[in-house]
């Protein structure tokens, strides 16, 4: 290379560099690139596509929908509906941005009843996948096929059945940055089955089928109401534990209906909890909290019910336009809805328990339609309290293992009938294993867990006579040492202890002194209780002061009751047992301890006779 040649090369380079520095930096993205980016608002993962397509089918008045997914929806999502379909022009137009048939102006949002209204789902989906649409209007002689890919659309005549059949393939094939965030097949599938469940719950009359990787996974023929739909979707075991709920606040124009699991059923996660607002599946933290408050002290802390609550409310009292995927909504009066849920759940649980009292409990089965269950619960792990006896030792056994294993199914005991009138109707047999009180009554043998029962009695006393609870001054005050930062944390909340009869105050920089306690707690070391309260304060991310103090009161009452109650292994005299039984009888919520464990089980005479083959 000559010097001249070299020189000219450098010159070219310098000119190029200068050109970069002098070129203006802003340019318009091509419409297709812009749409690929905007699509992220609507489509983050396959389940978002599923939701949009199912909702479009419902908006089109479909009564039957089939959903096919392959490889967790990454390879294929196909929705076939029998809705009103589209003519050729609409079929071409539906992929355009802001193309919608559902509203004409934003003012209509206050009265909207369709799922869609933004006209951006199909445009977004088509920007990041390969779409084929087959559609024919009801009664039309000819249909249309559209292929949409990379911002181009081709339309041709076709002869599909009436309705719409849309396939979305290779999601994010052209957006690798997004594709790499997709999860494995099972995870994406789980999100989709959860969504499909929610859609089915919101539309009990819809005939729905789900095919996963070419296998029929769920088939749900039409049902007339939500309770039957729940029974159809969930395993028989869950369905047996469902109670229907129905309530209204007529003044405020809010109604709720649905199904919730009873006090004998719980799960370890929240995936069994569904809320629908005007048929739209929503996630809303406050609604979940309201539901759980209804279950307070009925199922154990940290366990969750299975439920579906459908809220119907005047559309002008909610805002559905606050979330890009419309999964969250805002209520104009959130408290009214929350209170209605909490009160309805609590009273439904109470009514259900008292219904049980009137029945021969061990054979109790809610009147559930016998609908073949769709296996939507393959993935989550619901658990019946009646099954917890199979769990590891950390769980307290709920009933003595009194039956040969092979007969277990025939004699599964259930939280049962209390002696209705203790004076005449029962005989106290005695104590068994220093843990259970045995009672003979007409229906059979009733076993009471002495600790759980006493816990319930004390809890109700602490809760009702709160601030009037008899206390005793300790001869030797208790000193509790804790870390200085923990002391700072708990110091502002000591009044909660004081309201429960525990006179406690800071003592030096890292100690608390307890001068008096409720009579029942006089012999109990309170170190652990205080550490627990510190833990709750750390855990609790409630900002609402009133809620916080309410929840602290409840937890403290439950914990005090637990500490003060007789333990398994304590011998009880006949009189003590007698008192315990009649105190328990007088308690509300007497069928479970404050942590949700049952206080008693009935082994019915009928079952005993069956075991001895006196009866068949
Ligand atoms: P939106 O639902 O917000 O209107 P979409 O992008 O989801 O926006 O759909 C655009 C339009 O396409 C809809 O307004 C509707 O007219 C039409 N459309 C989409 N899916 C269907 C379907 N399954 N059946 C009939 N029409 C449909
Ligand atoms: Mg839509």
User: 137 CB less than 6 Å from ligand 1?
Assistant: no
More confident residue, 187 or 1: 187
Protein residue closest via CA to atom 17 of ligand 1: 94
Residues 577-592: what's their mean pLDDT? Answer: 86
Ligand 1: which of 54, 59, 146 to mutate, most ligand atoms within 8 Å of CB? 59
Q: What tokens appear for 377 in the block?
A: 């619960």
pLDDT at 555 exceeding the cut of 70: yes
Dmax (CA) for the chain in angstroms is 120
The pLDDT score that the predictor gives to residue 165 is 98
Residues 428-447: what's their mean pLDDT? Answer: 92
User: 453 CB less than 6 Å from ligand 1?
Assistant: no
Helix (H) or strand (E) holding 106: none
pLDDT, tens digit, 9 for 90 and up, residues 282-301 = 988 899 999 999 998 788 77
The pLDDT score that the predictor gives to residue 518 is 86
Residues 402-416: what's their mean pLDDT? Answer: 30
| Residues 526/480, Cβ–Cβ less than 8 Å | yes
Q: What tokens appear for 217 in the block?
A: 């996974």
**Which residues are placed with Cβ below 5 angstroms of ligand 2, an ion?**
56, 116, 121
The pLDDT score that the predictor gives to residue 538 is 78
- Output the CA–CA distances (angstroms, integers) from residue 136 to 62, 132, 156, 164, 284, in the order listed: 13, 14, 12, 7, 38
pLDDT, tens digit, 9 for 90 and up, residues 354-400 = 676 555 433 333 344 455 555 565 433 333 333 333 232 222 222 22
Residues 543-569: what's their mean pLDDT? Answer: 81
Instruction: For residue 251, name the pLDDT band (cuts at 50, 70, 90).
Output: confident
Q: b/e for 20-58, b at 16 or more Cβ within 10 A? A: eeeeeeeeeeeeeeebbebbbebbbbbbbbbbbbbbbbb
Q: Which atom of ligand 1 is nearest to the CA of 121?
A: 6
- Maximum average pLDDT range among 128-142, 390-404, 517-531: 128-142
Indicate if the alpha-carbon torsion angle 554, 261, 300, 601 is positive or negative.
positive
Q: b/e for 363-399, b at 16 or more Cβ within 10 A? A: ebebebeebebbebbeebebbbbbebeeeeeeebebb
Protein residue closest via CA to atom 13 of ligand 1: 100
pLDDT at 422 exceeding the cut of 70: no
More confident residue, 583 or 354: 583
User: 160 CB less than 6 Å from ligand 1?
Assistant: no
**What pTM was estimated for this model as a whole?**
0.62
Cα 117 from Cα 236, distance rounded (Å): 38
């Amino acid at each position: 290379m000559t010097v001249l040649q070299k020189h000219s090369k450098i010159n070219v380079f310098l000119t190029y560099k200068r050109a970069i520095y002098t070129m203006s930096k802003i340019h318009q993205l091509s419409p297709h690139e812009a749409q690929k980016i905007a699509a992220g608002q609507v489509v983050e993962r396959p389940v978002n596509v599923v939701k949009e397509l199912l909702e479009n089918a419902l908006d089109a008045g479909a009564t039957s929908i089939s959903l096919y997914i392959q490889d967790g929806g990454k390879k294929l999502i196909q929705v076939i509906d029998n809705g009103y379909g589209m003519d050729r022009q609409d079929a071409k137009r539906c992929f355009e941005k802001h193309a919608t048939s559902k509203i004409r102006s934003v003012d209509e949002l206050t009265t909207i009843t369709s799922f869609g209204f933004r006209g951006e789902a199909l445009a977004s989906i088509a920007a990041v996948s390969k779409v084929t649409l087959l559609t024919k209007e009801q009664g039309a002689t000819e249909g249309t096929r559209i292929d949409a890919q990379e911002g181009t659309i081709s339309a041709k005549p076709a002869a599909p059945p009436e309705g719409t059949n849309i396939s979305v393939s290779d999601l994010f094939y052209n957006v690798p940055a997004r594709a790499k965030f997709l999860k494995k097949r099972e995870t994406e599938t789980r999100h989709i089955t959860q969504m499909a469940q929610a859609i089915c719950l919101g539309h009990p009359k819809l005939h729905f089928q789900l095919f996963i990787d070419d296998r029929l996974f769920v088939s749900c023929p039409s049902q007339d109401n939500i309770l039957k739909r729940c029974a159809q979707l969930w395993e028989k075991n869950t369905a047996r534990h469902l109670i229907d709920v129905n309530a209204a606040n007529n003044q405020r124009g809010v109604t709720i209906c649905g199904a919730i699991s009873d006090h004998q059923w719980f799960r370890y996660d929240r995936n069994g909890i569904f809320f629908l607002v005007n048929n739209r599946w929503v996630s809303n933290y406050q609604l979940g909290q309201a539901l759980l408050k209804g279950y307070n002290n009925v199922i154990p802390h940290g366990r969750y019910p299975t439920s579906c609550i459908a809220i119907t409310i005047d559309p002008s009292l909610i805002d559905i336009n606050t979330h890009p995927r419309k999964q969250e909504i805002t209520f104009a009066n959130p408290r009214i809805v929350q209170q209605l849920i909490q009160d309805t759940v609590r009273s439904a649980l109470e009514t259900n328990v008292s219904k049980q009292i009137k029945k021969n409990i061990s054979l109790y089965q809610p009147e559930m339609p016998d609908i073949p269950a769709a296996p939507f619960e393959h993935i989550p792990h619901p658990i019946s309290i009646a099954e917890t006896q199979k769990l590891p030792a950390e769980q307290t056994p709920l009933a003595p293992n009194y039956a040969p294993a092979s007969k277990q199914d025939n004699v599964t005991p259930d939280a049962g009938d209390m002696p209705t009138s203790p004076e005449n109707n029962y005989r106290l047999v005695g104590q068994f294993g220093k843990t259970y009180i045995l009672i003979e009554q007409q229906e059979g043998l009733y076993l009471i867990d002495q600790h759980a029962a006493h816990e319930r009695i004390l809890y109700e006393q602490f809760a009702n006579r709160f601030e009037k609870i008899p206390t005793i001054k300790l001869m030797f005050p208790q000193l509790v040492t804790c870390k200085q930062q923990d002391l700072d944390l708990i110091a502002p909340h000591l009044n909660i202890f004081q309201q429960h009869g525990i006179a406690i105050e800071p003592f030096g920089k890292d100690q608390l002194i307890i001068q008096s306690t409720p009579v029942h707690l006089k012999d109990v070391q309170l170190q652990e209780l205080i550490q627990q309260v510190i833990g709750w304060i750390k855990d609790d991310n409630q900002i609402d002061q009133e809620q916080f103090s309410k929840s602290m009161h409840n937890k403290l009452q439950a914990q005090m009751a637990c500490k003060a109650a007789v333990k398994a292994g304590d011998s009880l005299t006949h009189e003590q047992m007698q008192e315990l039984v009649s105190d328990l009888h007088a308690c509300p919520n007497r069928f479970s301890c404050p942590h949700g464990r049952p206080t008693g089980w009935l082994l019915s005479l009928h079952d005993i006779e069956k075991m001895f083959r006196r009866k068949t």
